[in-house]
Amino acid sequence: MSNIRTIERIGRRLERAVRKSGPANGRNRRVSEVDELRGRVDAMEQELRDARVARYTQELLFGGLDGRGARMPTKGSVDTLVTQVEAATGERDARAHVVAAFRTLVEVELRGVGRIAGGTPNILGKLTVPLLLGPPNDDVLEIGTLFGLFSSALTRQFARAGRHCSLTIVDPLADVQLQPGTANTADPSGTPVSESVVRTNLELSGVPAERVRLHQGFSGDPAIRRAVSDRAYGTVIVDGDHSAEGVRADLEWVEEIVAPGGLVVVDDYGDRTWPGVKEAADEYLAGDTAFELMGVASTSAFLRRR
């Protein structure tokens, strides 16, 4: 039963109790007590109705009713993430950083079109950990961008630390998200995955066009690799092909183009939807590699190149 109906029932019961009650004098006193209670119940009912309107407005903005992810994390999930971020970075109190990342996420998604892929805690981890680990330079490579909103948000996070990142982005921009073995249907947000959408989002987020290099294609394409391998990146986001083969191939390549001390975010690590990501990353880390696992926050693993 809804809270409002419960309150209404309490009111009706009070009235019935008074009507049934005994002698006139005592009865009059009880009537005024009940009137007072009735007034309080009515006020509570109105407060609840107002709170419901406010709550629905919040849901319209943050609740994922439009095909974006819901951005209403529980306190418990944020507390857990803060602990994971602190463990991965050695930061003693990461809460303010996570809160700032949440504001970035909400602002960038509300301003832009499409969505950032994934659950809120995972995105907050990806927006917080790289900066706290201190990438050795401001060149960022994102493999798999979808709508370009994560890169936009990460740029904002760099700015919070007084840094201006330069973005290199690789994605087939094939109208829909491409993943081996999946149906590749239209995105729930209704927005197409295209160069024009990615550029619009970067522009809406205030990322200067001259700080963006957008390569349409696959990370395994030799021509793309040649074009992108012209520098040593401080931060690389591996979020393209989520099959074990795809992740393995990306890690092999990325190890060649990440700067010493550089960071690699392996997105969807441990996410049950994409078992190949963890399988490939764990296998890669167990082999002969310069990558060291710094930690895991939500479903992202953070590596540093020695």
- Is 239 a binding residue for ligand SAM by CB under 6 A? The answer is yes
Between vectors from CA 243 to CA 166 and to CA 81, what angle results, nearest 5°?
60
Q: Which is nearer to ligand SAM, 31 or 174 (CB)?
A: 174
User: What is the C-alpha end-to-end distance of the chain, expressed in Å?
Assistant: 59
Q: Which is nearer to ligand SAM, 34 or 123 (CB)?
A: 123
Q: Is the dihedral of CA 119, 125, 128, 134 positive or negative?
A: negative
Selected binder of ligand SAM within 143, 198, 297, 303 (CB under 6 A): 143
- Is 128 a binding residue for ligand SAM by CB under 6 A? The answer is no
CB of 148 to ligand SAM, least distance (A): 8
What string marks each residue from 54 to 93 as x (binds ligand SAM by CB under 6 A) or -?
----------------------------------------
Q: Which is nearer to ligand SAM, 148 or 262 (CB)?
A: 148
Report the run of H or E that residue 259 belongs to, with start and end.
strand 258-267
Q: Beta partners for 167?
A: 140, 212
Number of residues that bind ligand SAM (CB under 6 A): 22
Sheet with 166-171: strands ordered across? 212-216, 166-171, 139-143, 233-238, 258-267, 300-305, 291-297
Q: Own/partner pairs for 10-15, CB < 8 Å, 24+ apart?
A: 10/41, 11/38, 11/41, 11/42, 11/45, 14/38, 14/41
CB of 248 to ligand SAM, least distance (A): 12
- Is 150 a binding residue for ligand SAM by CB under 6 A? The answer is yes
- Is 116 a binding residue for ligand SAM by CB under 6 A? The answer is yes
Task: Name the site residues for ligand SAM (rule: CB under 6 A).
Answer: 116-117, 143-146, 149-150, 170-172, 174, 177-178, 193, 218-220, 239-241, 246
